[in-house]
Structure 1
Amino acid sequence: MSTTEGVFCRRAEGLAGSVISPSKPSHKSPAGFFHTSSNLNAGCKRKPPTNPWALAKAAEKREKVRARKQELLQHRQKAASDPVVGHMTPFLEAMDAKPDVPPPIDHLVQPTDPQQRQVVFENVISEEHLSRLNHFLRPQEVTASIIRSKDLEEVPLAKTSEKDVSQGKEMHLKATAAMNRILSLGNGSSKDKTRANKSWCVETFGRHVTDEIFPRSRHVSTASNPITDPVKTPRVGRDTGSSEVQAALLTMKIRALAKQLESNPHDKMNKRNLRLMVHKRQKLLKYLKRNDRGGERYRYIMESLGLDDPAIMKEVFM
């Protein structure tokens, strides 16, 4: 027999031995015998018998869980704030409200007896409340000026008659009513209302006002040194550059622009401007949250503007 034939014979014998007598069986029984079943079914557990009552209870539990998830999802969607205009708050309601226009002076009271007319006229003027005024004035300043003017123009009783005193009092009431109508924001233009809203945002959220309400942050940087660090310059005048004031001013512009886009949905330029302002407000509020560490100042501005954390931290699609 040649060498080549011997090699082929040895290979054939090895293949036959491996097929006939496997040396490493994959599964063994406790008695040491081989399994005759398939290897796929050797490690499977026996399926328990079907229990209709348990299946019904499991299906009922799954249905309750699904219904509860749907209820919570609807509640979150309903409570979530609009990332553009937010939900309505007292601050936003007062900003969007149109000031009432006072009626003309001649229509305040009906023509009656002169003395009775003066009493009615005085009651009507005293009931007029000056809330938001034009020309950068405050109700306290106007009231103090009217009282001072009344004292200056009052004539001593010894030199005048009772008729002159009555006429002077009526003229003073008419002058007061005229001043109320001149200074009323309801008679101002749209530019006057915008200017008043800007001033109101500064007076509401400015640090020169809120520093007395909210305490300063207790989180002092470890790198700061009160001995070597320069002394911070004290604030002079009103605060117009803090993050909360800028966010409030942007909110005023955003709401006005969003209202304009409702009637002009194809105004693409203003849509882009609205998107830029919304993202800029997000950056300001993110910085305030990081700097204030979610403190009272951050929560105050968020509650006043009707926004929540998802409207600031998540991406806005417009």
Structure 2
Amino acid sequence: MPSRVVSSLQPLACNLSSSLAALQISTSVGAAARLPTERLAGSLLSLRRSQNLSKQPFRIASLHTSSPLNVGRKRKPPSNPWAVAKAAEKREKVRARKEELRQLRQDAASDPVVGHTTPFLEAMDSKPDMLPPIDHLVPATDAHERQEAFEKAIVEERLGRLNHYLQPDEVKMSLARSKALEDPPLHAVTEKSVLQGKEMHLKATAAMNRILSLGNGSSKDKTRANKTWCVETFGRHITDEKFPQPKHPSIASNPETDPIKTPRVGRDTGSSEVQAALLTMKIRTLAKQLETNTHDKMNKRNLRVMVHKRQKLLKYLKRKERGGQRYQYVMESLGLDDAAIMKEVFI
């Protein structure tokens, strides 16, 4: 290509490159002008935050629920000393009352395992004293003195519950009948025979007291007597007269067509209250044993199982009786409260 043509094209190329550069700059400025204002403001704010975070550590703003006008304002101390003293006195009374109520609740709450002491539990836990032998009861003195000593000893002896499933009234009737059979006939009555008969009767009474006393029995005899005591106290063959069964007729029931319930025969040994009383007897015995044998883990587990089983029985009784008199009677006799059976028990 001739040099003349090249020299003429160079100014055109420079003008074209400068026009292209101006066109690119105007395009970028127009695009920036078309961006939304909020987007630009957000980008600038994020840039400023990043710069501040790079300079200062991160801080958590404090949260105030009160009015912003009261944030920096200090509360003025009360100027009335009588009001200050009155407020302090009121606070002290409230604190004392709360402590009193807490102590009352703590005293009224029963132990969920052994319960609080009741007359029924005292009679169950009581151990009758062992009666002394008859031979060493009185010395061999005059007949009248021996009779007086026997009578005094028999009167002072407190037998309480008897062994061998016997009741005190039955024993008294049997002894009275034996005395009537031992009395001599009227034509053979003498002073000596009367004294001998009375002395023999007193000796027989003292002997029967020692035979039937739980104090002279074994541990099996005492356990059997306690079971009988539970059945005779809570059995429905005894308590049905005191607490009649409430009737809650349903819509579907019809007295004319419904079958008649079979009457109870014999003693009640399977009701919920009797089973709960028997479990209470075992629980108290096992808990007393664990007081000395603290590392007996097997019996500790057995105690936990029995306590939870008693809870189920008493919950069922409460639901069945609808918290009536029978349920209240059982709970008061066993020394338990609603919290002891409705809450979880930790042993």
Q: Which TM-score tier does this pair reach, normalised by the shorter chain?
A: 0.7 to 0.9
Match of 2:33 in 1: 9
* 1:77 paired to 2:101: no
Residue 217 of structure 1: CA displacement?
1.3
Q: Using a 3 Å threshold, how does the CA distance of structure 1 residues 220 and 100 change in structure 2: closer, same or farther? A: farther
Structure 2 residue ranges without an equivalent (≥5): 1-22, 42-63
* 1:309 paired to 2:338: yes
The more displaced of 62-71 and 78-87 is 62-71
Q: Using a 3 Å threshold, how does the CA distance of structure 1 residues 15 and 297 change in structure 2: closer, same or farther? A: closer
Match of 1:240 in 2: 269
After superposition, residues 250-261 of structure 1 pair within 5 angstroms as 250-261=279-290
Match of 1:169 in 2: 198
Q: Using a 3 Å threshold, how does the CA distance of structure 1 residues 281 and 16 change in structure 2: closer, same or farther? A: closer
Match of 2:236 in 1: 207
Q: Using a 3 Å threshold, how does the CA distance of structure 1 residues 114 and 55 change in structure 2: closer, same or farther? A: closer
Q: Using a 3 Å threshold, how does the CA distance of structure 1 residues 9 and 300 change in structure 2: closer, same or farther? A: same
Residue 121 of structure 1: CA displacement?
2.4
Match of 2:306 in 1: 277
Residue 105 of structure 1: CA displacement?
2.0
Match of 1:26 in 2: none
* 1:291 paired to 2:320: yes
Match of 2:278 in 1: 249
- Say which of 103, 110, 120 aligns to 1:91: 120
RMSD of aligned Cα (Å): 2.9
The more displaced of 4-13 and 105-114 is 4-13
Cα pair 2:128 2:159 within 8 Å, conserved: no
Paired with 2:37 and 2:202, the residues of 1 have a C-alpha distance of 128
Larger Rg: 2
Residue 16 of structure 1: CA displacement?
10
Cα pair 2:163 2:221 within 8 Å, conserved: yes
SS of aligned partner of 2:113: coil
SS of aligned partner of 2:135: helix
Size of the aligned set, in residue pairs, is 297
Residue 192 of structure 1: CA displacement?
0.1
Cα pair 2:121 2:333 within 8 Å, conserved: yes
Q: Using a 3 Å threshold, how does the CA distance of structure 1 residues 232 and 67 change in structure 2: closer, same or farther? A: same
Residue 160 of structure 1: CA displacement?
4.3
Match of 1:134 in 2: 163
SS of aligned partner of 2:286: helix
Cα pair 2:184 2:193 within 8 Å, conserved: no
Paired with 1:267 and 1:162, the residues of 2 have a C-alpha distance of 65
SS of aligned partner of 1:227: coil
Residue 167 of structure 1: CA displacement?
1.2
Residue 228 of structure 1: CA displacement?
3.1
Match of 2:222 in 1: 193
Q: Using a 3 Å threshold, how does the CA distance of structure 1 residues 108 and 13 change in structure 2: closer, same or farther? A: closer
Paired with 1:13 and 1:148, the residues of 2 have a C-alpha distance of 120
State, as a whole percentage, how many aligned pairs show the same letter. Answer: 72
TM-score, with structure 1 as normaliser: 0.83
Paired with 1:266 and 1:120, the residues of 2 have a C-alpha distance of 50
Q: Deviations over 1:100-152 (max 9, x none)?
A: 22222234345443224324423433454442111111111111011111111
Paired with 2:290 and 2:94, the residues of 1 have a C-alpha distance of 41
Structure 1 residue ranges without an equivalent (≥5): 18-39
Residue 153 of structure 1: CA displacement?
1.8
Match of 1:30 in 2: none
Q: Deviations over 1:259-315 (max 9, x none)?
A: 111111111110000000000000000000111111111111111111011100000
After superposition, residues 134-153 of structure 1 pair within 5 angstroms as 134-153=163-182
Match of 1:51 in 2: 78
Q: Using a 3 Å threshold, how does the CA distance of structure 1 residues 4 and 95 change in structure 2: closer, same or farther? A: same
Residue 12 of structure 1: CA displacement?
7.6
Letter of the structure 2 residue corresponding to residue 226 of structure 1: P
Letter of the structure 2 residue corresponding to residue 266 of structure 1: H
Letter of the structure 2 residue corresponding to residue 217 of structure 1: P
SS of aligned partner of 1:106: coil
Cα pair 2:127 2:215 within 8 Å, conserved: yes
SS of aligned partner of 1:246: helix
Letter of the structure 1 residue corresponding to residue 179 of structure 2: K
Match of 1:33 in 2: none
Q: Using a 3 Å threshold, how does the CA distance of structure 1 residues 172 and 162 change in structure 2: closer, same or farther? A: same
TM-score, with structure 2 as normaliser: 0.77
